[in-house]
Amino acid sequence: MADRYLHFTGTPPGRFLTRRLGLPRPAPLRRFGPAATDLGGPVILRTAGRSALDGPLPLDEPLTPDGTAGTEAETPRPAAVVLDATGVAGVADLAAVHSALHPLMRSLAPGGRIVVVGARPSADDHHQAAAQQALEGFTRSLAKETGGGRTANLVRLTSPDPAAAASTLRFLLSPKSAYVSGQVLELTGTAPAAAADPARPLAGRTALVTGAARGIGAAVAEVLARDGARVICLDVPGAGADLERTAGALDGTALPLDITTGDAADRIVAALPGGELDILVHNAGITRDRRLANMSADRWSQVLDVNLAAVLDTTDALLKRGAVRRGGSVVATASIAGIAGNTGQTNYAASKAGVIGLVRSLAPRAAAAHGVTVNAVAPGFIETRMTAAVPLLIREAGRRMNSLAQGGLPVDVAEATAYLADPASGAVNGQVLRVCGQSLLGA
């Protein structure tokens, strides 16, 4: 369903009324496409004090010649600012964060990006830990005040090797991250694999997407195919027509299957080329909303079975069989409901919080034993058939209660999933990436 308020605020009367009444003023987001492959402007790199990295940050975007913004007549408005704050080790060092970014805030272009690169808070140096944790509060607050479709995110490095940040910086400094803001990603020191073709980083890889017939799952399958993957689209037999349509449009394979059946893993392996895959995306999910006082045992178990038990069982079975190749990835779909909770969704929130627990526990062990990363995306309010059926006032509240003051699109979740599935993102493991426009609910 179209966001008529977003359209109205872009008209002269809309701009006037929202300004006078203090209403939310969402800015149209620049998303990735043939006409928007980058942010359309230069990137400024600043350092807060002394960098703790062994080399320069891997930035693909054009930097301004001297690292400063200049005047609008001399230099285009910067599309992004990257701040290397890895050397911040005490309260006094935080002054350098202010002095590096303060002069640039008014010149950052609409839809621009701010990426702060920090270090993991130390377990041995509480002064460094305090200063690095301060960067999280700083970045989340900055993301809420920038406006104009701009975003701000924090990337934490666990080693002085900056190469681990390449894929993450590429994602955050592109239109693909339009609906990701106020987030913290912690990267390991794992050396990433370089893609032979950066435009098709998933070429030669096989992906399985559950719940792929429509909505977010179909968008995920489409983006993975765009990036070069051979996609197997799985959904319940009852969604067969939509499933065939989605898979056919992508030259993929349709796999009608109830993921909760006892032989689901066997049938998945049988459908895989050579019995193996590289990318496993758990997107299938259902809701059966009721307040707990009115919720039957069937409504509870149906949601937990599909949204959590099937994810656990299928992942365990495929990893045990070695069906996910080394260098592969598992990406599960959580939800901000699993982080912040939601009235009438104790079952759904429990299942999605369970997905987060799965990711955090399994990720280090899967990496060590199988060479596979495990991450999750946690969507906020996404414009789908399901949210279109929500009552008007609740739907409008869902759209506006985030820093970007609008709902996201299925492609926003798909782009985040593709980033986590990229072999160059091998340093990203055990992370839960919220795709919610920095929802005001939860952390």
- The residues assigned a catalytic role are 348
Residue type present at position 156: R
